[in-house]
Amino acid sequence: MTEKKIVDGRGSFCPGPLMELIVALKSSQVGDVLEVLSTDKGSANDIPEWLRKVGHEYISTTESNGEWHITVRKTK
Amino acid sequence: MSASKICVVVVSGSLERLQMAAMVASVAAVSGQEVMVFLSMNALPYFAKGNISKAPHEGEMGRIMEGKKIPEFRTLFEQAVELGDAKIYPCSMAMDVLGIEQVGLEGYLESATGLTKFLHDAQDGQVWTF
């Protein structure tokens, strides 16, 4: 189990957090788990949709006090 | 991967339109769709090399956006190219009118393209105009 990488997209708006995730995925290995932090609700909805479309694994979303944590695994 | 190519035509120099065009191009490109962008009229000068000037807002939304941490439209277009293989074509007519050479444009832009070629390449895609 590799350590989780944090992608801090807090404060940014759509599609900022998604773009930051994609940049982080590029420099990750297959199997790596990444957690995106976002204060943008639109991104919290959009990122799982993007994962479904391109085929990386969507693990979970949690939210507290207007901050979303979206966990994903690089699969290819 | 995708059923249809997305062709984004950008002619406006307003913040809202440049931003929306950049969002469509970048999100489509990173989602695996083929994306072509054609920059002309008031949009092109923002892609002159080293131009970091802000585009003026045209309404309330743009005014509010100026105070928020919104990804810069030029950054999004560049990410569309680097992360999603989008192709961004500067309009050769606009370059002639402005007197801008290819070397005077940002490096992530493709070579100058005329409308005839763009229309030919766009005929089997969706066209989005901003």
Residue A3: pLDDT band (50, 70, 90) is: confident
The answer to whether domain A5-73 has CATH 3.30.110.40 is yes
Average pLDDT over residues B105-118: 96
pLDDT higher than threshold 80 for residue B14: yes
How many separate domains does chain B show?
A: 1
Cα–Cα distances in angstroms (integers) from residue B41 to residues B14, B19, B92, in the given order: 11, 16, 10
Strands (E), chain B: 5-10, 35-39, 87-90, 125-129
CA distance B79 to chain A (A): 8
How far is it, in rounded angstroms, from Cα A18 to Cα A20?
Answer: 5
Output the pLDDT for position B3.
58
Q: Which two tokens stand for residue A23?
A: 């940049």
Across residues A37-43, what is the average pLDDT? 95
Domain that holds residue B72: 5-129
Positions of E strands within chain A: 5-8, 33-38, 57-64, 67-73
Kindly state whether B83 is in contact with chain A, defined as any CB-CB distance less than 8 angstroms: yes
B113 DSSP 8-state letter: B
Instruction: State CA B95 to chain mean position distance.
Output: 15
Which among B23, B32, B69 has CB closest to A15? B23
pLDDT at A69: 97
Distance CA B127, CA B124 (A): 9
User: In this structure, what CATH number is given to the domain that contains residue B55?
Assistant: 3.40.1260.10
Taking only the tens place, the pLDDT of each residue in B34-80 is 999 999 999 999 999 999 999 999 999 999 999 999 999 999 999 99
For B15, phi then psi, to 5°, come to: -55, -50
Which band of pLDDT confidence, cut at 50, 70 and 90, is reported for residue A2?
low
Q: What is the ipTM of this complex?
A: 0.89
Domains in chain A: boundaries: 5-73
- What digits encode the pLDDT tens for the residues B80-102? 999 999 999 999 999 999 999 99
Mean of the per-residue pLDDT values for chain B? 96
